[in-house]
Amino acid sequence: MVSVEKDNSAILIALGGNLPCEAGDVAGTLRAALQMLTARGIGLAAVSRFFATPAHPAGSGPDYVNACAQLTSDLPPLALLAELHAIEAAFGRTRASRWAARGLDLDLLAVGQAALPDETTAADWRALPASEQKLRTPDRLILPHPRLHERAFVLIPLADIAPRWCHPGTHKTVAEMLAALPEAEKAAIHAL
């Protein structure tokens, strides 16, 4: 594990899944996806520990295995997202419904301090009420990921590799965002 600490130019992704697939159990699938990233010319600068996490939203399926990684790549954000989606598809991922159980989920969390498509749009998606989050999905890439600051299953593994990465919209570090979450939510997540 290598920490990016103050590196605000980091490319950060979240990995997760809660269904086995042809690569094996969920942890095996995450390891295979990381290998596929490097086989496609995307570098791995750091990988967090793997964590057992409750399904989100609660009751939506088996528990997940989640992790985060810092990548190195010269690809622009949309091309990088396309690579992540291609890897998901290679492991059988289809996007039939939001927050459904899945074998592999790769989310582009942040590309440095980029706010895409712009800070106003990114802020609007961050402020989306919980009641609308399942109903509305962006029609374009939003960076940083609009729910990043709310999810212990992302922030706990992200804190392993980038505790000092600062969110360009909230101006809080990963460590600060994690500290603001309810203790019960954090207590439900365990390193494997």
Tokens standing for residue 123: 């802020």
Q: Which domains are assigned to the chain?
A: 11-191 (3.30.70.560)
Nearest partner of 1 among 50, 34, 49, 72, judged by Cα: 49
Which residues contact residue 39 at a Cβ distance below 8 angstroms, ignoring those fewer than 6 apart?
A: none
The DSSP code for 173 is B
Q: Is the pLDDT of residue 107 over 90?
A: yes
Give the pLDDT of residue 2: 41
Q: Cα torsion for 188, 186, 126, 11, to the nearest 10°?
A: -100
Q: Specify the pLDDT at position 3.
A: 43
| pLDDT band, residue 93 (cuts 50/70/90) | low
**Interval 146-157 mean pLDDT:** 94
User: What are the pLDDT digits (tens) for 46-85?
Assistant: 999 999 999 877 777 788 999 999 999 999 999 999 999 9
Residue 33 confidence (pLDDT): 95
Whether residue 23 has pLDDT greater than 90: no
* Helix or strand run (H / E) with residue 35: helix 26-39
What pTM was estimated for this model as a whole? Answer: 0.88
Cα distances (angstroms) measured from residue 102 to each of 28, 54, 113: 14, 14, 29
Per-residue pLDDT at 133: 64
